[in-house]
């Protein structure tokens, strides 16, 4: 009986249920997405600024994950000596287009008379401002420029080594002192000098490029006219002016495996922090945050003193105002930013030659500019030993390079603890108050470059849900385990987002020893790491 009844029942369900399903599917309205009100500034027709609100649609958690992982890349490669080098890079835009950039390269070098074979591993992040032109250019040319200077140091060390004074030469001739030893790239001071030269010379090329184009044009067409030519349609007009007028900080790490040296060169207020694992007697150990750079802004007392020493006493109170160069630019060191390097006359001439014909104009020269340049690209370089392949109770395990957008949200110690926890395999949501117990971390000395208010939110939580450690840091910078805050921060679109967060680019470099040589594992979305070159 039951066997005969089930077919009519199923048939009726199909006949009734299918049209009903289709009706509700195509006639019911989709559930509206949640929104929140965002206060914004609005400039009226009279030029006055007033406050208004704008309704912003929340991103879903899936959309947030997609946004965080959109530009996440990872690379693992085994190099000679059995070192497995791992690199992750991720970036998140607040500007449109993003003004950050990044680059990396492995240069394989042959042995020399003074040095064994090894690798030079370069990693760099660039934090642009006033446009992306300078940072994008640096992403292509900064590492090659440094590599060229290092090649010169290897092949002709005497060309970079400081020249002996006349007194030193006389003492050597009279055999009052021993001849100076042959210097090479094994000397950290010479390597640092080569890196510094590369940064300074490259910035000179960027800033002087429009002047060279103008000079060549005037020489070709006859300088006796003493007229400023219209070069607005010159093929190098925008190409030379844009990287000079916009600006960029640059942070580069160089791992020299032949000599077991790490160099970090910083121009600007990006920051590099190393994670040092210090083994304790009970075998548990603790992470120590070794801050490798100082934020180079007017709020750094060292930078303030330097700036004041490079200009007349009459400018002592104006070279830095409100923590900014001449009251305007925040970083005291940067590539480009020619407004702070060219004189008033030079800016007026270049503006007429390159921009007027395109109905464009250069931003006004800072009113307090009297004795330029006020900004330099000369980096501050720090050096650390790597101790690869050596057992030690205190060992450098990873380096984080990030633009200031990350450090606006996280402290150096928090970043080391978050990376240490990621490497230890923590998973899920961890209360902030629990992380110091799970991942003990000692504090380093950080010279903050901004007057920011650190939130002490012990009631919040960290999220350990990302495979990519750079994405992991960016997620936790904007909420971590607090999903509502994370969704809100990432839902704000450009250009409004810039009022609440900055562009962030983050690269994490770490390594494992004792791996098999000759293998490489590439993620499905790898960092573009150029073919290994020879030096």
Transcribe 374-417 into DSSP letters.
--B-PPEEEEEE--TT---SEEEEEEEEE-HHHHTTS-HHHHHH
The model carries a pTM of 0.87
Q: How far apart are CA 83 and CA 255, in angstroms?
A: 12
Q: How far apart are CA 62 and CA 487, in angstroms?
A: 10
Q: Across-strand partners of 376?
A: 333
On the question of pLDDT at 99 being above 70, the answer is yes
Backbone angles phi, psi at 172, to 5 degrees: -70, -40
On the question of pLDDT at 523 being above 60, the answer is no
**Bridge pairing between strands 533-534 and 100-109:** parallel
The average pLDDT across 442-471 equals: 83
Range with the poorest average pLDDT among 1-15, 328-342, 360-374, 381-395: 1-15
Residues 468 and 518 in one domain: yes
On the question of pLDDT at 530 being above 50, the answer is no
Residues 22 and 81 in one domain: no
Full residue range of the structural domain in which residue 391 is found: 54-534
pLDDT of residue 173: 58
pLDDT of residue 117: 83
Cβ neighbours of 523 (radius 10 Å) = 15
Q: Report the percentage of the chain scoring pLDDT > 70.
A: 83
Q: How far apart are CA 375 and CA 325, in angstroms?
A: 8
Which residue has better confidence, 336 or 82? 336
On the question of pLDDT at 164 being above 90, the answer is no
Whole-number mean pLDDT of the chain?
87
pLDDT of residue 11: 44
Instruction: Give the tens place of pLDDT for each residue, 43-69.
Output: 888 878 888 899 999 999 999 999 999
Residues 128 and 87 in one domain: yes
On the question of pLDDT at 327 being above 60, the answer is yes
Whose CA is closest to 464, among 423, 523, 411, 518?
A: 423
Which residue has better confidence, 147 or 80? 147
Transcribe 103-145 into DSSP letters.
EEEEEEE---SS---EEEEEEEEEEEESSSHHHHHHHHHHHHH
pLDDT bucket at 303, cuts 50 / 70 / 90: very high
Residues 76 and 104 in one domain: yes
Sign of the four-CA dihedral 421, 422, 427, 432: positive
Q: How far apart are CA 131 and CA 126, in angstroms?
A: 12
The average pLDDT across 278-301 equals: 92
Residues 43 and 127 in one domain: no
Residues 153 and 13 in one domain: no
pLDDT bucket at 224, cuts 50 / 70 / 90: low
Transcribe 55-119 into DSSP letters.
EEEPPPHHHHHHHHHTT-EEEEEEETTTEEEEEEEEEE-SSSS--EEEEEEEEEE---SS---EE
pLDDT bucket at 5, cuts 50 / 70 / 90: very low
The average pLDDT across 298-320 equals: 97
Identify the CATH number of the domain in which residue 131 sits. 3.60.40.10
Question: In 202-314, where do the E strands start and end?
Answer: 247-256, 261-267, 271-278, 286-291
Range with the poorest average pLDDT among 59-68, 109-118, 128-137, 307-316: 109-118
pLDDT bucket at 520, cuts 50 / 70 / 90: very low
Residues 136 and 148 in one domain: yes
Please, what is the angle between helix 61-69 and helix 469-477, to 10°?
130
Instruction: Give the tens place of pLDDT for each residue, 416-452.
Output: 999 999 999 999 999 999 999 999 999 888 888 887 6
On the question of pLDDT at 197 being above 90, the answer is yes
pLDDT of residue 470: 98
Q: How far apart are CA 517 and CA 228, in angstroms?
A: 61
Residues 508 and 431 in one domain: yes
Residues 153 and 23 in one domain: no
Residues 86 and 128 in one domain: yes
Containing 241, the helix (H) or strand (E) segment is helix 237-245
Please give the tally of structural domains in the chain. 2
Q: Report the percentage of the chain scoring pLDDT > 90.
A: 68
Residues 254 and 395 in one domain: yes
> Helix, strand, coil shares of the chain as percentages rounded to 5?
35, 25, 40
pLDDT of residue 534: 56
pLDDT of residue 154: 86
Residues 117 and 193 in one domain: yes
Last residue of a domain, one of 29, 53, 77: 53
The average pLDDT across 79-84 equals: 86
pLDDT bucket at 16, cuts 50 / 70 / 90: very low
pLDDT of residue 10: 36
Last residue of a domain, one of 37, 53, 69: 53
Backbone angles phi, psi at 261, to 5 degrees: -120, 145
Which tokens hold the place of 506?
A: 């983050």
Place of tokens 């446009």: 131
């Amino acid at each position: 009986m039951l066997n005969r009844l089930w077919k009519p029942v199923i048939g009726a369900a199909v006949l009734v249920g299918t049209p009903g399903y289709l009706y509700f599917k195509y006639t019911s309205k989709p559930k509206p997405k949640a929104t929140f009100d965002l206060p914004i500034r609005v400039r009226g027709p009279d030029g006055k600024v007033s406050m208004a609100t704008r309704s912003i649609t929340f991103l879903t958690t899936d959309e947030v994950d997609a946004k965080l992982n959109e530009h996440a890349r990872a690379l693992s490669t085994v190099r000679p000596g059995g070192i497995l080098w791992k690199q992750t890079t991720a970036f998140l835009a607040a500007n449109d287009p993003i003004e950050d950039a990044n680059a990396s390269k492995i240069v394989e070098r042959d042995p020399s008379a003074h040095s064994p074979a090894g690798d030079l591993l370069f990693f760099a992040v660039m934090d642009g401002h006033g446009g992306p032109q300078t940072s994008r250019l640096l992403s292509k040319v900064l590492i090659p420029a440094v590599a060229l200077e290092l090649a010169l140091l290897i092949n002709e060390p005497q060309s970079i080594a400081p020249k002996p004074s006349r007194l030193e030469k006389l003492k050597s001739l009279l055999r009052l002192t021993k001849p100076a030893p042959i210097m090479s790239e094994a000397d950290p001071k010479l390597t640092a000098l080569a890196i510094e030269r590369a940064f300074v010379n490259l910035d000179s090329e960027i800033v002087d490029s429009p002047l060279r184009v103008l000079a060549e044009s005037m020489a070709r067409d006859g300088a006796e006219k003493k007229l400023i030519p219209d070069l607005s349609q010159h093929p190098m007009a925008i190409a030379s002016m844009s990287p000079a007028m916009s600006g960029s900080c640059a942070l580069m790490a160089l791992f020299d495996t032949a000599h077991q040296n790490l160099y970090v060169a910083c121009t600007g207020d990006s920051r590099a922090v190393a994670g040092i694992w210090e083994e304790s007697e009970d075998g548990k150990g603790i992470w120590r945050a070794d801050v490798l750079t100082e934020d180079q802004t007017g709020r750094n007392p060292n930078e303030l003193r330097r700036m004041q020493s490079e200009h007349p006493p009459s400018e002592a109170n104006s070279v830095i105002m409100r923590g900014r160069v001449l009251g305007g630019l925040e970083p005291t060191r940067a590539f480009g930013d020619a407004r702070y390097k060219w004189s008033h006359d030079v800016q007026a001439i270049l503006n007429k030659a390159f921009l007027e014909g395109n109905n464009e104009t250069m931003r006004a020269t800072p009113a307090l500019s009297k004795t330029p340049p006020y900004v330099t690209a000369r980096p501050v370089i720090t050096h650390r030993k790597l101790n690869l392949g050596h057992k030690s109770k205190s060992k450098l395990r990873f380096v984080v390079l990030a633009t200031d957008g990350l450090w606006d949200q996280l402290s150096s110690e928090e970043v080391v603890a978050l990376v240490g926890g990621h490497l230890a395999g923590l998973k899920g949501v961890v209360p902030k108050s629990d992380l110091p117990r799970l991942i003990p971390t000692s504090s380093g000395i950080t010279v903050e470059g901004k007057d920011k208010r650190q939130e002490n939110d012990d009631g919040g939580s960290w999220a350990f849900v990302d495979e990519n450690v750079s994405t992991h840091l960016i997620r936790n910078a904007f909420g971590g385990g607090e999903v509502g805050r994370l969704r809100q921060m990432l839902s704000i679109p450009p250009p409004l987002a810039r009022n609440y967060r900055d562009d962030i680019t983050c690269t994490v470099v770490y390594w494992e020893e004792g791996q098999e040589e000759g293998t490489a594992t590439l993620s499905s979305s790898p960092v573009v790491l150029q073919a290994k070159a020879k030096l």
